[in-house]
Chains A and B, each alone.
Chain A
Amino acid sequence: MVDNFSIALSHALIALAAWRLIFRDDLDREDPPAPDKERAGFAMGGLVRRKQSKPTNEDKPGGRGNA
């Protein structure tokens, strides 16, 4: 009884997650990230600065930032 409940619950959640995943475009493809606005952490620190000229992903209508 407990075993069947546990199996049913976990498998239902796995199935739901898989179902949601197949409708997500960002599973296979992501837009490029918005360029760094300033120094990009200690690995990149100080070397890469920018004067932003290109529109970012966040600037596009309906666009959103990507991770």
Chain B
Amino acid sequence: MRDLAFVGFLMAFLALGFKRPFIFVLAYAYVDIVAPQRLSYWMLNAVPISVIVFGLAVVGWLAVDDKRSVRLTPRLFAILTLLIYCAYTTSVADVPIFAQEKWGWVWKALIFAFFLPLTLRTKLRIEALALFMVLCASAIIVTGGIKTAASGGGYGVLRLLVDNNSGLYEGSIISTVAICIIPLILWLGKYGTIFPQDWRVKTYVAALVFACLLIPVGTQARTGLVCIGVLAVLMLRFARYRFLYAGLVCAVGLMAVPFLPQSFTERMDTIREYKADESANTRLAVWKWTWEYAKNNPMGGGFDAYRQNKITLNTVETIGDGTTTQIEVQQMEDEGRAYHSSYFEMLGEQGWPGLFLWLFIHLGGIVRMEFLHRLYKRRDREDEQWVAPLALALQNGQIIYMIGSLFVGIAFQPFVYMLIALQIGLDTYLARRRQEAAWRPMRGERQVNAVASQAQPT
């Protein structure tokens, strides 16, 4: 029954695409995020659904869309370079079979991230993509939120629609993504035109944000707690009454503690006791191994190069208290441990060139969004009131991701590349609109062009 519903939904979705081809682009985002083929038992998982929808999106764009406003920006060029570089490292990978497997989905994420900004030509398209990303993620977040509120969840226990622990369905990844889209949800609630602000939208936004905050509690991923902290600090920046806001955040945080499941508070306590924590120690050991590996392999070892690692780690545990304290040191051997950090993932797999490209793409996003935020605050035009808050929401999401990815290996997470594509699309769209608004036939044409080219996004 569920399978038939999914097939019917997708067919209807694609049918709308024949009226407006941009719907195909949104349909691909849906397939990529929700992965309906994983939620169904037959039919959808028998056909390469993502390839078909992506093909429709590209053909629709090539056949119908206006391509006069297409611009290649430095960050778009960096994504293309990263794609080519990853293809190269895959061809010379240390563990070719696993590298091929990861390459199988990474290239799709990068190609889509490259393609997406080319289609984002209007404000409504930018809003539509943001809305679809949020709604698609909500399919996972709402179920996680309700289950956490009802039962408390648990590390590796909370079941999010599927048993498959990959893509957005993995606990630490959905924790990071759920927190990083909160600013975008708030923006959509305030400035959205597809669902304009009314009491229903406000209620849904409040409920969804609450569900997002519950995800780290339910999955008990410590990264999620760190991300919530980062979000609270970022929102402090533009709070009108900062002290009041900070006080409220602390009060709500403290009041929430008794309601949190005991297993959650116990697990969060291990953030402080990292010396006794095997998971934290493994991370440090793997990062050390990766650093040494990068010294010998500065060009990277290809995807999943971590599978070669053999690490020895010591855990130090203090037993007893007061007068008799016993320190217990245990030595353990481990191998094939994942990076648990996107930065080290890039360093180990794609070497220094890959890490620099990745940092350029991501840090470039933070810088450009800051630029747009300041510029549009200053412009202060009635019809551009939505821009500065959106730039800020995208920047905050990116910062949360950059902090969260310190502890999770999600360097190629397709959802995040959609966020990047959204940033690039916004940036190029606004550059074009500024140019159009400043256009003066008869006078200053050369000046305007010169200035607009200086304001090219990165």
Contacts and interface: CB of A to CB of B under 8 A. Distances in A.
Interface of A: 2-7, 9-11, 13-15, 17-22, 24, 26-30, 32-36, 40-44, 47-48, 50, 65-67
B194 A14 contact: no
Interface in B429-445: 433-434, 436-440, 444
Nearest to B140: A6
Given A2-B146, A67-B386, A67-B387, A28 B434 contact: no
Nearest to A48: B438
Contacts of A48: 438, 440, 444, 447-448, 451
A21 B122 CA distance: 12
A40 B124 CA distance: 23
Nearest to A29: B122
A44 B383 CA distance: 18
A14 B383 contact: no
A29 B379 CA distance: 24
Interface stretch (B127-135, B296-304, B322-330): B127-135
Contacts, number: 149
B237 interface: no
26 contacts: A4-B2, A6-B142, A6-B146, A6-B161, A10-B142, A13-B195, A14-B13, A14-B136, A17-B135, A20-B194, A21-B20, A21-B128, A22-B20, A24-B124, A26-B123, A28-B121, A33-B383, A33-B433, A36-B437, A42-B375, A43-B451, A47-B444, A47-B447, A47-B451, A48-B440, A67-B387
Interface string B148-170: 00100000000001000000000
A60 to B, nearest CB: 14
B124 A44 contact: no
Interface in B69-101: none
Given A13-B195, A36-B381, 18 more contacts: A2-B143, A2-B147, A10-B142, A14-B132, A15-B9, A15-B13, A17-B132, A19-B16, A21-B20, A21-B124, A27-B22, A33-B436, A35-B440, A36-B438, A40-B437, A41-B379, A42-B375, A50-B440
A33 to B, nearest CB: 4
A5 B150 CA distance: 14
B122 A28 contact: yes
Nearest to B430: A67
A27 B128 contact: yes
A49 B436 CA distance: 14
A26 to B, nearest CB: 5
User: Which residue of A2, A13, A21 has the most chain B CB atoms within 10 A of its CB atom?
Assistant: A21
B139 A11 contact: yes
Given A10-B139, A17-B135, A40 B434 contact: yes
Closest 10 CB pairs of A and B: A65-B383, A6-B143, A10-B139, A6-B142, A67-B123, A33-B437, A43-B455, A41-B375, A48-B438, A41-B379
A32 B135 CA distance: 30
Contacts of A65: 381-383
A65 B378 CA distance: 18
B30 interface: yes
B376 interface: yes
Contacts of A47: 444, 447-448, 451
Contacts of B455: 43-44
Given A27-B122, A48-B447, A43 B375 contact: yes
B70 to A, nearest CB: 15
Contacts of B384: 67
A42 B378 contact: yes
Contacts of B13: 14-15, 18
Contacts of A41: 375-376, 378-379, 434
B125 interface: yes
B376 to A, nearest CB: 7
A30 B438 contact: no
